Amino acid sequence: MDAEREVLDVLARNAREDIDDIAAQTGLDAAAVADAIDALESNRVVHGYQAVIDWDRVDEGKIRAVVEINVELDRETGYEQVADRIAKFPAVDALHLVSGDYDFAVEVLGENMQDVSEFISEQVAPMPAVTQTVTHYIMETYKDGGIRFEDGDGDDRLSVSP
Amino acid sequence: MRLSDRARTLPESGIRKFFELAEARDDVISLGVGEPDFSAPWTARTAAIDSLERGKTSYTANRGMAALRERVADHHERYDQSYEPESEILVTTGASEAVDLAFRALVDPGDTVAVHEPTYISYGPGIELAGGEQLTVPTRAADDFALTREALEAAGAAEADLLVCCYPNNPTGATMTGEQLAEVAAFCRDEDLRVVADEIYAALTYGTDHASIATQPGMRERTVVVNGFSKAYAMTGLRLGYALGPTDAIDAMNRIHQYTMLSAPTTPQYAAIEALDRCDDEVTEMVEEYDRRRRLVVSRFNEMGLDTFEPGGAFYAFPECGGDDEAFAEALLEAEGVAVVPGSVFGTGGEGHLRVSYATSMRELKEATDRVAAFVEGR
C-alpha cells in the first residue's frame, strides 16, 4: 500500500489522530505522514475534517432531512449548473447526483422542521430547473459516518485470559 | 469428595492470579486479554441466528458438517495445505479440543513431548493428562523466539516422540519463515518426531503469509495441524476449531471425540460456513487494524526503553521489562491500573518479559501505553 493510502485509512477511522501516532501506526516517519496529508489535501482527496455528531443529544440541536429533487434540463442547463446553484445554500449539507427515480439526493440541515420546509419551498422548489421535491425528515439516526449511535455494551471479556 | 491424583496434582494456571488481581480493581485498562476485541462478523452471527430459527439444533456428523469440512479444505489451500474433507478433517469444540484429542491420540504413557517455551499454557497440562511428559525447549529473545534446530538439540529433543509447534506464537507474537521451519522439519524427520502444529493465529500475520510446518517435505504424514475460528473470525465464545491431518491420526482423534464430545456445537458450524463463504473482507479489515495497533504498541514500548522485537503475527507484543516480570506486572497494575501478563507465566524463556495484547481499541492502547511510560519513568 502506498503512503497516502495508509494515511487515508487511518484518517478515515479517526481524523483526530496526530501525525506522530499516524507515523507509529503506519511505520512511516512523521515527515512522510505530513507530506502525505499535504498531498491528500492539495489533490482534494481530503476536503475537510468533521465530527460525527448525534444532534438528538444536543440541546437546541438540528434536524436533518433527505430531499429528493427532480430536475428538467435544457440546452443551457446541465446537472452541473443545477448542482452548483443548490450547493451554494449553506443549509445544504450534502448533495449527490443519484441513479433511479429522481436526480439529486440532498441532505439539508436546519434548526427545525419549519426551517427546512421553508428552505425547500421558498429556495429550492422555485428554481426553474426543479420540477419536483420530496422531503424525508430523519426521525432517528442509528449509524452515521460508519459509527453506530448507541451507548455500547462495554467490554465483557475477561480482563486477563490465556 | 475424594479427587483423582491427576486432578489434585494439576497445577493452577499462572494467569489466574493476574486475573484475580485485575478483577479486584475497576479502573483497569487490560492489555492482558487473549481474545479479539471485535465481535464475530455480523453476517456469520445472522447465519447462526437463522439456523436456530430453522430449528437446526440436532447433533451434526461426528466429524462436523460435510459442508463445513469442504469449505475448511478449500480455505486451507491458501496456506498450501491440502486435506480431504471426508477423511482428513475433524471439526472440534474449539481448537482446544483438537489439541487435547491430538495428545490423547498420539501420546502413550511415558512418551516425551517437546514443547518450545514461552508458549500457550495448555500444552503442558494436556500432555500430562494424556500420560506423557513435557520436555521444555526454551526459545531465545536473540532468535526473536523462533524455534531452532540448535535449541531442539540442546534441550535433548532428539529423544522426544512428539513436538508441539505453535506459530504465530502466543505470547510472543513470533512467526517462523519457511526457511526456519525447514530446519525444524529436518530435525523432526531425522529424529522421527511427530508434530502437533497449533496454527490458530495463522490468519493474523503482518507483512508475510503464514508458513506451516506441515507443508515442509515429508511433514504432512507426521503432523496434525490445529486451527479454528476463534482468533481470525473473533468467534472465541462460539467454541469452534478443527484438526487437519493424515487419515490414521484423524480417525483416531475422531474415535475419542465421538465418545467424549459426539459432535462440535451445531450453531457455530452454521456461523463458520458463512464466515468462510463471505467474511474474508472483514478478516482483512481486522488484520489491518491489528497491524496499525501492533506498530503503535511496538514503537511506544521501544520509545519508553522496554526493548520489543517486531512480532510478525497474533495480537501480542513481548517487551522486555528486565528482572522480575511478575513484580513488574504487579507494580504496574497497582500504580497505573494497567494489566499485562508476566512472561514467565508462559514458561521458560518468558521471564523478564511481558505479554502485551493489542486486541484493545486504539484509544485504550494509547492511554495504557502513556500510563506504562509514566510508570517506567517513575521507577
Nearest to A158 among B19, B122, B293 (CB): B19
Q: Residue A6: its pLDDT value, please?
A: 95
Do the Cβ atoms of A159 and B295 come within 8 Å?
A: no
C-beta atoms of A161 and B15 within 8 A? yes
Q: Residue A160 carries which DSSP code? A: B
A129/A127 Cα distance (integer angstroms): 6
pLDDT tens digits, one per residue of B75-124: 999 999 999 999 999 999 999 999 999 999 999 999 999 999 999 999 99
ipTM over 0.90: no
Cβ distance B32 to A160 less than 8 Å, yes or no, reads yes
Q: What would the 3-class secondary structure string for chain B be?
A: CCCCHHHHHCCCCCHHHHHHHHHCCCCCEECECCCCCCCCCHHHHHHHHHHHHCCCCCCCCCCCCHHHHHHHHHHHHHHCCCCCCCCCEEEECHHHHHHHHHHHHHCCCCCEEEEEECCCCCHHHHHHHCCCEEEEEECCHHHCCCCCHHHHHHCCHHHCCEEEECCCCCCCCCCCCHHHHHHHHHHHHHHCCEEEEECCCCCCECCCCCCCHHHCCCCHHHEEEEEECCCCCCCHHHCCEEEECCHHHHHHHHHHHHHHCCCCCHHHHHHHHHHHHHCHHHHHHHHHHHHHHHHHHHHHHHHCCCCCCCCCECCEECCECCCCHHHHHHHHHHHHCEECEEHHHHCCCCCCEEEEECCCCHHHHHHHHHHHHHHHHHC
Look up residue A67 and give its three cell numbers.
430531499
| For residue A1, pLDDT beyond 80 | no
Confidence of residue B22 (pLDDT cuts 50, 70, 90): very high
Question: B44 — phi, psi (to 5°)?
Answer: -70, -40
When pLDDT is averaged across residues B357-374 and rounded to a whole number, the result is 97
pLDDT range class, residue B342, cuts 50, 70, 90: very high
**pLDDT for residue A155 is more than 90:** no
Give me the residue from A24, A159, A162 closest to B295, CB to CB: A24
A47-87 pLDDT per residue, tens: 999 999 999 999 988 999 999 999 999 999 999 999 999 99
| B14 — pLDDT class (breaks 50, 70, 90) | confident
pLDDT digits (tens, 9 = 90+) for A12-24: 999 999 999 999 9
pLDDT digits (tens, 9 = 90+) for B27-83: 899 999 999 999 999 999 999 999 999 999 999 999 999 999 999 999 999 999 999
**Which of these, B212, B215, B204, B142, lies nearest to B173 by C-alpha position?**
B204
Decide if pLDDT at B355 tops 80.
Answer: yes
CB-based contact B296 A25, cutoff 8 Å = yes
Grid coordinates standing for A118? 421553508
How far is the C-alpha of A65 from the C-alpha of A69, rounded, in Å?
Answer: 12
Interface test with A, best of B33, B286, B338, B346 (most A CBs within 10 A): B33
> Taking CB atoms and an 8 Å cutoff, what residues of chain B touch A161?
15, 19, 32-35
Chain A residues with CB-CB distance to B301 below 8 A: none
**CA angle (A40, B298, A152) in 5-degree steps:** 70
Q: Does residue A153 or residue B205 have the better pLDDT? A: B205
Instruction: Tell whether the torsion through CA atoms of A19, A24, A29 and A33 is positive or negative.
Output: negative
pLDDT tens digits, B291-316: 999 999 999 999 999 999 999 999 99
A64 vs B31: CA distance, rounded Å = 40
**Hey, are the CB atoms on A24 and B299 less than 8 Å from each other?**
yes
Measure the CA–CA gap between B341 and B22, rounded to whole angstroms.
Answer: 10
- pLDDT, tens digit, 9 for 90 and up, residues B238-269: 999 999 999 999 999 999 999 999 999 999 99
Q: Which residues contact B134 (CB under 8 A, 6 or more apart)?
A: B112, B113, B114, B115, B123, B124, B127, B128
Domain covering B5-40+281-378: architecture: Alpha-Beta Complex (3.90)
Q: A30 by DSSP, 3-state: which?
A: helix
Q: A9 CA to chain B: closest CA distance, Å?
A: 9
Which residues of B fall within a CB distance of 8 Å from A162?
A: 13, 15, 34, 120-122, 170
Cell of B302: 521501544
Closest B-chain CA to A21? B296
Overall fold of domain A56-141: Alpha-Beta Plaits (3.30.70)
Q: How high is the pLDDT of residue A151?
A: 78
Q: Do B296 and A161 touch (CB under 8 A)?
A: no
Using an 8 Å CB-CB cutoff, list chain A residues near B120. 162
The residue whose grid cell reads 492502547 is B365
pTM score over 0.90: yes
What residue of B is the nearest CA neighbor of A162?
B34
Torsion region of B290: left, alpha or beta (phi above 0 gives left; psi -120 to 50 gives alpha):
alpha
Residue B228 has pLDDT above 80, yes or no: yes
- Per domain, the residue ranges of chain A are 3-42, 56-141
Q: Which residues in A have their CB inside 8 Å of a CB on B?
A: 9-10, 13-14, 21, 24-27, 155, 157-162
Alpha carbon distance B147, B138 (integer Å): 8
Fold of B44-278: Aspartate Aminotransferase; domain 2 (3.40.640)
- Using an 8 Å CB-CB cutoff, list chain B residues near A160: 15, 18-19, 22-23, 30, 32-33, 339, 341
The pLDDT of residue A150 is 85
Instruction: Please state the domain extents for chain B.
Output: 5-40+281-378, 44-278
Q: Is B188 on the interface with A (CB under 8 A)?
A: no
- Read off the pLDDT of residues B126-161 as tens digits, 9 standing for 90 and up: 999 999 999 999 999 999 999 999 999 999 999 999
| Min Cα separation B324/chain A (Å) | 19
Residue of chain B whose alpha carbon sits nearest to that of A156: B37
State whether A160 and B292 contact (CB < 8 Å). Answer: no
Question: Grid coordinates representing B122?
Answer: 495448555
